[in-house]
Structure 1
């Protein structure tokens, strides 16, 4: 399941998403503005991961950074797809809470794996409603990876809404994975919530 792969697994590799849920608040970002945003965000990310703080301090700093640069709530609604319309307000609130928790666990899990990460910002081009910034990401012992960052303006600020790795949109992959869980349990969205909670419990117990 995609839970373990989601966001900073690929914000650090580096990942993250057509029309978004909540797209009424999304606007196009210019190529120069998107490149500047990704360059600054990447430098902040590098500074935290490669810094001298403790692992716990880095995890906290990364959580704060990701909440600033990624449209987490909008991404969460996007990956729910059509099931967003059948969730009760309580289920939706629970989903967003679990989604944020899984992101936080992923951030903590990925810190050591990406020590020494560096990146180069290349070109930027409009793709659908998003401005996609192409970067080359390098980590010690790994081949350089070409990663595209989709950026939209959300409520007045640029935000990452998707990451494209090897031509694959991670928000679409996540949506397909979540849908498979729900479909596999007779269309019950509660099955997805239970699966997400189970994943959080397993990660917490393994730490």
Structure 2
């Protein structure tokens, strides 16, 4: 499967709402539930992201600043970027790699925000969690009035300091 840097933007809670598609969250299983802090983290991140979308007192510039902060604090963007470029990594110079790592967050922040305002009426509900080694998959359902639900699986991990971050996201069965 090919990966593109633009898809890293989907790692924000609101991006899950921006991807239309059929519901695909699997039924609960006997799998180990994973870190109990992971669903709390995902729910809070989603709620905070949608609160930014709903806040009419913020300009688009102020909203983007809040998204930038949320992204930097809650998404393993460097790890994601490394996975996205891994096939090309051996063919680029260190300077090109550094430029890529520096540009990726800004690109992510400018690729989707305007589009996501259409989803300010969406809500995210945690359906279940499953342990995957050191990661926890958090299965969610994004709903908005009059639209089909969208299912997303957030892969969450703890950093070396014990903070939770989004490490990957699959939306409607598509690994982003």
8 Å CA contact 1:152–1:160 kept in 2: the answer is: yes
Which residue number corresponds to residue 135 of structure 1?
140
Aligned ranges 1:27-106 → 2 under 5 Å: 30-52=34-56, 53-106=58-111
CA distance, structure 2, for counterparts of residue 131 and residue 103 of structure 1: 24
State how many pairs are aligned. 157
CA distance, structure 1, for counterparts of residue 123 and residue 104 of structure 2: 27
- C-alpha root-mean-square deviation of aligned residues, in Å? 2.4
1:7 to 6, 9, 16: 9
Q: CA deviation at 1:6?
A: 3.8
Identify if the C-alpha distance between structure 1 residues 79 and 9 changes in structure 2 by more than 3 Å, giving closer, same or farther.
closer
Q: Does 1:166 align with 2:172?
A: yes
Structure 2 residue matching 1:31: 3-state secondary structure: coil
Unpaired segments of 5 or more residues in structure 1? 16-28, 171-207
TM (norm. structure 1) is 0.67
TM (norm. structure 2) is 0.78
1:145 to 142, 145, 150: 150
Q: CA deviation at 1:127?
A: 3.2
Q: CA deviation at 1:128?
A: 5.2
8 Å CA contact 2:143–2:150 kept in 1: the answer is: yes
The structure whose residues are more often helix, as a share, is 1
Unpaired segments of 5 or more residues in structure 2? 18-32
8 Å CA contact 1:8–1:106 kept in 2: the answer is: no
Aligned ranges 1:18-33 → 2 under 5 Å: 30-33=34-37
Using CA pairs below 8 Å that are at least 6 residues apart, which structure has the higher relative contact order?
2
